[in-house]
Structure 1
Amino acid sequence: MMLVDFQVSLLFAALFLRVHGAPTSSKPLSKRDSIPSYALTYAPYTYLYSGESWWQSDISVHLQHTTPEVDYTSLGYQATVETLDSVPSDAYLTSDDNVEDNPAWLLSTSNKPDSSGYSPAPATIICVEKDGGIVDAFYFYFYSYNHGNTVLGLVFGNHVGDWEHSMVRFVNGSPEYVYLSAHSGGTSYTYDALASQNGRAVTYVATGTHANYATAGQQDYTLPFGLLHDTTDAGFFWDVTKNFRGFWYDVSSGDFSSAGGVDVGGSEQVSEGVSWLDWLGFWGDEQYPDSDDRQYCIFGECHYVSGPTGPIDKDLDRTDVCPDTGDCDIQTSISSRSIEIRAGGADGTVFAEYAEEFAKFKAEVESSKANYTI
């Protein structure tokens, strides 16, 4: 009886450490075919903004500078790519540094692409095979920091960790459609609607927020009052095919397998496995409470918001080109897209249809601004 009790005690001890102790790797590296050649040939020709200050990051480096927290309480350990899936799914990867000090890892300046488009920070490419000869190739871009846009001197939407993506839908190896993520939404196009460079659809990444667009210029999005604008231009070409981690996702089983990567991404991937892709937690700080001196919120828009979830939460199994959230409006030309490009509209310039709401907003800002440290 004592032996049985001892064995049971050991079992409970092991379970306790599994729940409360440092995480351990939970899934080996399974392999499948490599990334299809067409997914590299037609990978988006991506331009980062010429004045960008928050560059793409390597997820392995990001994890070295963050600690998982739940309810603003540290779990007492750092995760690695190999062990991330064992971190609770309600955890936030919280910066070990004050983000307002702009630590070097947050800016990731060393990852700025060179003249050939190569960046030391690997992208993540995930291919998903579907019925009807369809393969959706997701090109995920990770940044350690998202710097929001400015309205009347106030910045809204900053957060640690930033996952954005574009997706090309191939039908029997031919690129037919493309989806570009932008903030919590995005826009879908026929592939031929976008300008191309060497046969690759040209896309533009907005400064700070890293939202993806089909054109260069000012990009108006709706909240609040038409004042928030993303800005894009043909600054730095980023060729994600030169450095990436590659994977397949199986819709029926929900499993990831390795397709192998190249350069830094490929060498890191050998030991990392695929389990990190299953993690449903948050890749940055939890939204700072109102009591935090760095925080301010007006009309539901806050200076600091929570970090995002990762690729697993981006509808990899979608049936439409758009994420499966309703009707999929596929644009057949850049001019017909639903997100307008507006001339002018710089910080502090309001569009006419928002004038009445803006007057209220401005009054609130002016009455409260003295309380905020920008």
Structure 2
Amino acid sequence: MSARLISASWLLVLASLLNFACCSASYDVPDYVAKHAPIVWLHSDDHYLPSDLLTHVQHTTPKIDGKLIKDKLPALNLDNLDLLNNYRDVALASNDDPLSNPAWMRGTAPDKDGRIHDATPCVVILVDNPFNDVDAFYFYFYSFDQGPNITQVLHPLERIVKGGKVGQGMHFGNHIGDWEHNMIRFKDGKPVGIWYSQHRDGAAYQWGDPELTVTDGRPTVYSARGSHANYAKPGDNIHDVALIDWCDKGKKWDPVLSAYFFKYHKDNETVTTLNPPDKKNSGPPAHNFTSLFYYDGIWGDDQLSDSDPRQDHVPKFGFRRFLDGPQGPKYKQIVRKEIYPNRRPKKTWIEFSAGMFMTAYPWALEGWRGWVTFVFVVILIFLLGVGVKVAITKGVRRYYSKGRYQKLQQGEQILMEDFETNEVLFRAATGPWTGTGQTGRIGVMILCRLSCGLYLGPFSSYFP
């Protein structure tokens, strides 16, 4: 009897251990997610660094259309932020004027090893895909996004936008709150491709792409000054046709050393919290900050109204100085068929026009080429006008001739004087072009014009 009890006890212990191991494993981040995580190089002159998510929430107030929510709300944090989903179009409005450049908007610099202390500015979300694929999204958060100024507009478009505060160096396209990301696709635990978010779109690379720099299994990412767009190469990077992002090897940042980790479940669109790589087999995570994922609103102010004295716009293009803040990771198309998002943005008419202009400028508009193009266009317009006029003339004459022919078929009589006049005109028109023959033919042309005017009636205005 005792032997049976001992055996049963051991079985219970073994089952408990197996259950604990399974449960612990389900809360752990796979090794390859940290092993191949991006290394981000922040720009050496970027004044707006990665920012702690909780600090950002604590320095904002939820508003709708610029007005406070009437209901009494508890102090917001990363565990209850989604209660704001009970309202529509919520914005986390800054408690400070962004022009005052408060310390919390400037973020926190990493140390020499790339670790950011006392702040968590990164969110890693794992998404399972078919065929043993796992998409690991590495989201980077900044409390302020500084848009470009006149020095970041390609020549010669800077001449067009130059003027007012823009000409004085004002930045446009700024917004409070900024979510950027990389996505690495893993197949059987090995990386096969990576996505770099860049403003409204981005760039995708296969893992072996020569443009991609991988050091010790980790891809290099260059974060652009102010905008924080991600690039595979340093230096000047062109985006949106005519704007420049500056990247360099400034401050090294290892995002996964200070990150929250989650797993996304496509079937019910939920996330579960995972333990960071340095806390494996520690059971359920100590926190449950899934609320930051579920929050539907924007992570900054609404676009300032034109009546706000802080708002301004770029002449001729209408770009605003301050824009809406962004929505969070939930709205970054984390379920993807390819490495790039399923829905790519379409070019605006401004981007299309600017692209056509920038393409034509070097070979058709720059310097003396502009005058040649101008003359060519004038000649082309003239010839086009002549062609249209000739076509209209022939069309009207054909229509008139057809009408006269139909009248003849219906029994209309032609006077003998018309035949005699036409015979005289024909002989004069077919005469020589010299001497009196030439004079006669000119006269015939005048008579023809007069005849056309009499016969054509309202259509005579088409003929000079």
Q: Which residue of 2 aligns with 1:173?
A: 189
Change (3 A) 1:284 1:31: farther
Ranges in structure 2 where 5+ consecutive residues have no aligned partner: 1-23, 151-166, 346-356, 367-464
Q: Which residue of 2 aligns with 1:237?
A: 252
The answer to whether structure 1 residue 70 and structure 2 residue 64 are counterparts is yes
The answer to whether the Cα contact below 8 Å between 2:299 and 2:328 also exists between their aligned partners in 1 is yes
Deviation at residue 136 of structure 1 after TM alignment: 0.2
Q: Which residue of 1 aligns with 2:339?
A: 321
Deviation at residue 272 of structure 1 after TM alignment: 4.2
What residue identity is the alignment partner of 2:68?
A: S
Higher relative contact order (CA 8 A, sep 6+): 1
Deviates more, 1:166-175 or 1:237-246: 237-246
Q: Which residue of 1 aligns with 2:320?
A: 302
Change (3 A) 1:326 1:182: closer
Give the structure with higher Rg (CA).
2
Residue aligned with 2:149, SS: strand
Q: Which residue of 2 aligns with 1:250?
A: 265
Residue aligned with 2:245, SS: strand
The answer to whether the Cα contact below 8 Å between 1:221 and 1:229 also exists between their aligned partners in 2 is yes
Instruction: Measure the CA separation in 1 of the matches of 2:310 and 2:292.
Output: 31
Change (3 A) 1:74 1:354: farther
Instruction: Measure the CA separation in 2 of the matches of 1:170 and 1:32.
Output: 18
The answer to whether the Cα contact below 8 Å between 2:141 and 2:177 also exists between their aligned partners in 1 is yes
Deviation at residue 71 of structure 1 after TM alignment: 0.8
Q: Which residue of 2 aligns with 1:160?
A: 176
The answer to whether structure 1 residue 278 and structure 2 residue 272 are counterparts is no
Residue aligned with 1:276, SS: helix
Change (3 A) 1:357 1:34: farther
The answer to whether the Cα contact below 8 Å between 1:243 and 1:263 also exists between their aligned partners in 2 is no
Q: 1:303-338 CA deviation, whole Å, 9 max, x = no partner?
A: 1000000000011111111111159xxxxxxxxxxx
Alignment of 1:1-374 (within 5 A): 32-75=26-69, 77=73, 78-87=75-84, 88-108=87-107, 111-120=108-117, 121-122=119-120, 123-151=122-150, 152=167, 153-193=169-209, 194-222=212-240, 226=242, 228-261=243-276, 270-298=286-314, 299-326=317-344, 353=360
Instruction: Measure the CA separation in 1 of the matches of 2:142 and 2:365.
Output: 33
Instruction: Measure the CA separation in 2 of the matches of 1:221 and 1:181.
Output: 11
Instruction: Measure the CA separation in 2 of the matches of 1:73 and 1:219.
Output: 39
Deviates more, 1:45-54 or 1:68-77: 68-77
Q: 1:22-52 CA deviation, whole Å, 9 max, x = no partner?
A: xxxxxxxx99431111010000121111111
**TM-score scaled by structure 1?**
0.75
Instruction: Measure the CA separation in 2 of the matches of 1:106 and 1:46.
Output: 19
Deviation at residue 144 of structure 1 after TM alignment: 0.4
What residue identity is the alignment partner of 1:39?
A: V
Q: 1:267-324 CA deviation, whole Å, 9 max, x = no partner?
A: xx73343122111110000000000111112323111000000000011111111111
What residue identity is the alignment partner of 1:56?
A: P
Q: State the superposition RMSD in angstroms.
A: 2.6
The answer to whether the Cα contact below 8 Å between 2:192 and 2:206 also exists between their aligned partners in 1 is yes
Change (3 A) 1:48 1:285: same
Q: Which residue of 2 aligns with 1:19?
A: none
Deviation at residue 114 of structure 1 after TM alignment: 0.7
The answer to whether the Cα contact below 8 Å between 1:148 and 1:157 also exists between their aligned partners in 2 is yes
The answer to whether the Cα contact below 8 Å between 1:245 and 1:262 also exists between their aligned partners in 2 is no
Q: Which residue of 1 aligns with 2:13?
A: none
The answer to whether the Cα contact below 8 Å between 1:32 and 1:248 also exists between their aligned partners in 2 is no
Instruction: Measure the CA separation in 2 of the matches of 1:357 and 1:278.
Output: 51
Q: Which residue of 2 aligns with 1:3?
A: none
Instruction: Measure the CA separation in 2 of the matches of 1:202 and 1:239.
Output: 10
Q: 1:145-187 CA deviation, whole Å, 9 max, x = no partner?
A: 0011102423111000000000000011110000000111111
The answer to whether the Cα contact below 8 Å between 1:244 and 1:263 also exists between their aligned partners in 2 is no
The answer to whether the Cα contact below 8 Å between 1:34 and 1:246 also exists between their aligned partners in 2 is no
Instruction: Measure the CA separation in 2 of the matches of 1:357 and 1:37.
Output: 55
Change (3 A) 1:38 1:53: same
Q: Which has the higher helix share?
A: 2
What residue identity is the alignment partner of 1:117?
A: G
Change (3 A) 1:95 1:357: farther
Residue aligned with 1:168, SS: strand
Instruction: Measure the CA separation in 1 of the matches of 2:330 and 2:185.
Output: 18
Instruction: Measure the CA separation in 1 of the matches of 2:278 and 2:68.
Output: 34
Between the aligned residues of both structures, percent identity stands at 35
Ranges in structure 1 where 5+ consecutive residues have no aligned partner: 1-29, 328-349, 359-374
Instruction: Measure the CA separation in 2 of the matches of 1:172 and 1:357.
Output: 53
Q: 1:122-141 CA deviation, whole Å, 9 max, x = no partner?
A: 21111111110100000000
Instruction: Measure the CA separation in 2 of the matches of 1:231 and 1:85.
Output: 36
Instruction: Measure the CA separation in 2 of the matches of 1:255 and 1:146.
Output: 29
Deviation at residue 352 of structure 1 after TM alignment: 7.0
Number of corresponding residues: 299
